[in-house]
């Protein structure tokens, strides 16, 4: 009897949730929920988390997926959840691959389909977990499948995948420029196929998660419109971004998820009675309150360079513009078999050595980079110098990151640099010559009684440490004290 009540309750909820969705706005989502209610609720028997999934069907996520995939697939999918729709979504691609005459692939696909159905009806008490499992399994299978057919027509597949990915993200192909970048990225990906595939898959999953968060109004950036791998960096080319000036904010919202600045960074870009700010895709948009048009655009990443990730570094610069040794920049950004670094006007460009394809652009502090900008992608790990670690440690609210010149405090949710915690100078090391500009004694007050200059020894302070220097040779002979630890 209790079971009957439970089942009835869940069925009622399943019907009620889509019905309570806003009419018109998420109509498709409502239908998704309805579909789930019809097909799924009776089959599964109920449970709290099932209700959760059905309510997802009504909150707009399903609308997003249905728009891309079409109603037919909705019927195939036994669940209303976003992840499920994503995995179903991949079928058109597989059908295309099938047309490329790959019998092995066809058989794998058959197996996968069966697997999915079987799991779909598994009736687990923790559907969220099941979602993930089901989602991963086809993805893994698909990776194998993609490798199997890769030899057929790599370029064509790349282009198709690009279109597919754009469809998944619900973003129209904007113009030739963007298209070209994405295709270029695909071609590049072809050189490191296996790795790239993994990235794409991970990226799809990740952006799916961001998209879902976004629908709930949480902070997320770099969603949609980006070639894979650039999604979290902010990928809109400057030329494209400039076209958004003078347009309504909704025009920019077509390309990326726009969010309010996190609380910790709002003081850097304060709203006024005349305008307010939104950010997304590596740019900050200033919106005029009087006409709701974008009146200014500030690049938050790449130092506003005209060479951005996805473009090519001029080959004529390759042999000239090495990263300087000042501040230890060249050891922080070294050349390696995996990539080259070049430096032009305060910006470090990380690129493929052979082609000059730019992976990342990192502005340096001495060129005015810092507060209010985005942390360079790929550098969000904790790397604060040892002597400062007791002082600057990551918390749930803030992270700390070191780059030559400064220790930055940043907001982990947005990657925006909120403050400079400490300024650092180029470090000394024992055995090197005392750098230019340290003629004057500079030891902190509390240590002056112990470490004072004599004809035989000088003492100089640098980045938390006190060093001894031989005044005759001007060589740094020892690290004598660390004042921070």
Partner 1 sequence: MRTHMFKLGLAAAVLAVGACDNKAGDKPTNAQTPEAQKAAGAKTISAGLAADSRFMAAAKAAGLDQTLAGAGPYTVLVPDDAAFDKAPAGTFDTKPENRAQLTGILTNLIIPGTVMAADIDKAIDRGKGKMMLATMGGSTLTATKDGDKIVLTDAKGNKATVTKADDAFSNGVVHHLDSMLMPGKAGAAATTKAGE
Which of these ranges, 60-68, 139-147, 245-253, 430-438, lies near partner 1 under the rule CB under 8 A? Answer: 430-438
Is residue 332 near partner 1 by the rule CB under 8 A?
no
Burial class, 66, CB count within 10 angstroms (exposed 0-12 / middle 13-18 / buried 19+)? buried
Smaller CB separation from partner 1, 168 or 466: 466
Is residue 16 near partner 1 by the rule CB under 8 A?
yes
Smaller CB separation from partner 1, 195 or 393: 393
Which CA distances in Å does 348 have to 40, 63, 351, 364? 54, 42, 10, 7
Is residue 409 near partner 1 by the rule CB under 8 A?
yes
x-or-dash pattern for partner 1, window 243-282, by CB under 8 A? --------------------xx-xxxxx------------
Smaller CB separation from partner 1, 51 or 146: 51
- The DSSP secondary-structure symbol of 274 reads S
Is residue 461 near partner 1 by the rule CB under 8 A?
yes
CB 89, CB 73: distance < 8 Å: yes
CA–CA separation, 86 and 321 (whole Å) = 45
Question: E strands of 253-380, at which residues?
Answer: 275-280, 283-288, 294-299, 340-344, 347-351, 358-363
CB 277, CB 230: distance < 8 Å: no
Burial class, 449, CB count within 10 angstroms (exposed 0-12 / middle 13-18 / buried 19+)? exposed
CA–CA separation, 305 and 298 (whole Å) = 12
Smaller CB separation from partner 1, 170 or 326: 326
CA–CA separation, 299 and 279 (whole Å) = 10
Is residue 320 near partner 1 by the rule CB under 8 A?
yes
Is residue 345 near partner 1 by the rule CB under 8 A?
yes
Q: Scanning residues 348 to 407, which ones bind partner 1 (CB under 8 A)?
A: 364-372, 390-393, 398, 405-406
3-state secondary structure of 435: coil
Smaller CB separation from partner 1, 200 or 347: 347
Count of residues that bind partner 1 according to CB under 8 A: 70
Is residue 313 near partner 1 by the rule CB under 8 A?
no
Distance in Å, CB of 189 to partner 1, minimum: 31
Is residue 474 near partner 1 by the rule CB under 8 A?
no
- The DSSP secondary-structure symbol of 365 reads G
Burial class, 302, CB count within 10 angstroms (exposed 0-12 / middle 13-18 / buried 19+)? buried
Smaller CB separation from partner 1, 183 or 213: 213
Is residue 4 near partner 1 by the rule CB under 8 A?
no
Phi first, then psi: give them for residue 404, nearest 5 degrees: -50, 120
Smaller CB separation from partner 1, 190 or 372: 372
**Residue ranges binding partner 1 (CB under 8 A):** 9, 12-13, 16, 263-264, 266-270, 284, 296, 298, 319-324, 326-327, 329, 343-346, 364-372, 390-393, 398, 405-406, 409, 417-426, 435-445, 460-463, 484
């Amino acid at each position: 009897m209790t079971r009957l009540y439970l089942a009835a309750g869940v069925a009622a909820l399943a019907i009620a949730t889509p019905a309570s969705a806003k009419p018109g706005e998420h109509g498709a989502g409502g239908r998704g929920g309805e579909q789930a209610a019809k097909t799924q609720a009776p089959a599964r028997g109920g449970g709290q988390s099932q209700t959760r999934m059905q309510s997802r069907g009504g909150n707009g996520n399903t609308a997003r997926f249905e728009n891309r995939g079409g109603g037919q697939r909705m019927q195939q999918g036994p669940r209303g959840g976003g992840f499920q729709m994503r995995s179903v979504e991949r079928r058109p691609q597989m059908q295309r691959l099938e047309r490329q005459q790959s019998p092995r692939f066809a058989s794998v696909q058959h197996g996968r389909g069966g697997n999915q159905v079987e799991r779909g009806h598994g009736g687990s008490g923790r559907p969220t977990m099941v979602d993930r499992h089901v989602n991963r399994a086809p993805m893994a299978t698909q990776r194998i499948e993609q490798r199997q057919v890769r030899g057929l027509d790599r370029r064509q597949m790349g282009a198709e995948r690009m279109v597919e990915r754009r469809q998944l993200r619900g973003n129209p192909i904007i113009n030739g420029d963007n298209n070209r970048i994405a295709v270029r990225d695909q071609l590049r990906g072809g050189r490191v196929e296996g790795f790239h595939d993994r990235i794409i898959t991970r990226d799809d999953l990740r952006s799916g998660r961001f998209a879902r968060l976004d629908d709930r109004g949480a902070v997320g950036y770099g969603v949609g419109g980006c070639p894979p791998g650039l999604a979290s960096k902010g990928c809109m080319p400057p030329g494209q971004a400039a076209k958004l000036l003078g347009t309504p904010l909704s025009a920019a919202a077509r390309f990326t998820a726009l969010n309010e600045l996190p609380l910790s960074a709002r003081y850097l870009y304060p709203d006024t009675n005349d305008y307010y700010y939104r950010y997304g895709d590596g740019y900050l948009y200033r919106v005029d309150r009087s006409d709701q048009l974008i009146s200014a655009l500030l690049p938050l990443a790449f130092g506003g360079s005209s060479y951005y990730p996805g473009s090519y570094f001029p080959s004529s610069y390759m042999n000239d513009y090495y990263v300087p040794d000042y501040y230890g920049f060249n050891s922080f950004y070294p050349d390696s078999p995996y990539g080259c670094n070049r430096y032009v006007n305060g910006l470090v460009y990380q690129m493929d050595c052979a082609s000059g394809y730019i992976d990342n652009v990192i502005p340096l502090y001495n060129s005015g980079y810092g507060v209010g900008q985005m942390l360079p992608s790929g550098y969000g790990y904790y790397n604060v110098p040892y002597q400062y670690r007791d002082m600057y440690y990551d918390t749930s609210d803030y992270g700390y990151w070191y780059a030559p010149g400064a220790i930055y405090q940043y907001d982990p949710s947005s990657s925006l640099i909120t403050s400079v915690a400490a300024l650092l100078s180029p470090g000394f090391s024992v055995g090197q010559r005392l750098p230019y500009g340290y003629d004057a004694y500079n030891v902190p007050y509390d240590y002056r009684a112990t470490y004072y200059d004599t004809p035989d020894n000088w003492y100089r302070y640098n980045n938390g440490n006190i060093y001894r220097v031989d005044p005759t040779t001007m060589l740094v002979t020892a690290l004598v004290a660390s004042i921070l630890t």
